[in-house]
């Protein structure tokens, strides 16, 4: 297979030609222009990162739409989880007087988020995709274009680091 981007077809040309149609495609599904632009920008950023070794089996247009669709699905999943977590936190805060266990749950979530913030960005992303979004090691490897072994190592390292921080936390009784 030949490389996608050549002297005849540059990344910039592809971006200029497909950015707006892809934004329209995403917006027709999610109904938010700002988020639609962000999703398409993220798709192009991922393509930029692998542009020198990108080989595709389909047409460029099909590839771009599928990559954007995958980004949109990831965004929707993350949004749903985020809304659920916020709703849980709001709901839990209003019930604090009635159920102290709800506060414990909220505090644990906050500690986990703080612990995740100490991880290196790539390690944090892999941990988030696996533990919060529920993706398999294979799915993460394909999504980030890295080996399954690298994902396994990152998940293990992140889990150990997060556990270590959590065991030192005041939230947990040892």
Question: Any idea where the domains of the chain sit in the sequence?
Answer: 9-94, 97-174
From residue 24, alpha-carbon distances to 18, 21, 28, 30, 39 in Å are 10, 5, 6, 10, 11
How does pLDDT run along the chain (174 residues), one tens digit per residue? 456 676 667 888 989 999 999 999 999 988 889 999 999 999 999 988 888 887 777 888 999 999 999 998 888 887 776 666 555 555 554 444 445 554 455 667 777 778 888 888 888 889 888 887 778 899 889 888 899 999 999 999 988 888 888 777 665 544
Listed residue (64, 62, 75, 56) closest to 16, CA to CA = 64
In angstroms, rounded to a whole number, what is the distance separating the alpha carbons of residues 157 and 31? 38
Phi, psi of 3 (to 5 degrees): -65, 150
What residues contact residue 156 under an 8 Å CB cut-off, 6+ apart? none
Query: Cα–Cα distances in Å, from 173 out to 61, 128, 163, 170?
Result: 55, 25, 13, 7
Within 8 A by CB and 6+ apart from 11, the residues are 5, 47, 48, 51
In angstroms, rounded to a whole number, what is the distance separating the alpha carbons of residues 39 and 73? 10
User: Measured over all CA atoms, what is the biggest interatomic distance in the chain, rounded to whole angstroms?
Assistant: 67
Q: In the structure encoding, which two tokens stand for residue 170, read together?
A: 């005041």
- In this structure, which topology does domain 97-174 adopt according to CATH? Arc Repressor Mutant, subunit A (1.10.10)
Question: Same CATH topology for 9-94 and 97-174?
Answer: no
- Rounded to two decimals, the pTM is 0.48
Which CATH architecture describes the domain 9-94?
Answer: Orthogonal Bundle (1.10)
């Amino acid at each position: 297979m030949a490389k996608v981007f050549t002297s005849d077809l540059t990344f910039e040309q592809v971006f200029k030609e497909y950015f707006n149609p892809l934004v329209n495609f995403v917006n027709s599904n999610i109904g938010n222009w700002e988020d639609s632009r962000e999703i398409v920008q993220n798709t192009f950023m991922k393509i930029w990162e692998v542009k020198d070794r990108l080989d595709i089996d389909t047409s460029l247009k099909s590839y771009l739409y599928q990559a954007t669709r995958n980004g949109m699905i990831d965004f929707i999943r993350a949004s749903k989880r985020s809304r659920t977590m916020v709703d849980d936190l709001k709901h839990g805060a209003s019930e604090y007087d009635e159920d102290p266990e709800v506060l414990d749950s909220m505090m644990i979530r906050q500690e986990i988020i703080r612990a995740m913030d100490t991880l290196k960005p790539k390690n944090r992303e892999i941990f988030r995709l696996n533990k919060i979004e529920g993706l398999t090691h294979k799915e993460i490897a394909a999504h980030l274009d890295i080996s399954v072994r690298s994902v396994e190592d990152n998940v293990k390292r992140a889990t150990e680091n997060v556990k270590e921080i959590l065991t030192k936390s005041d939230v947990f009784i040892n």
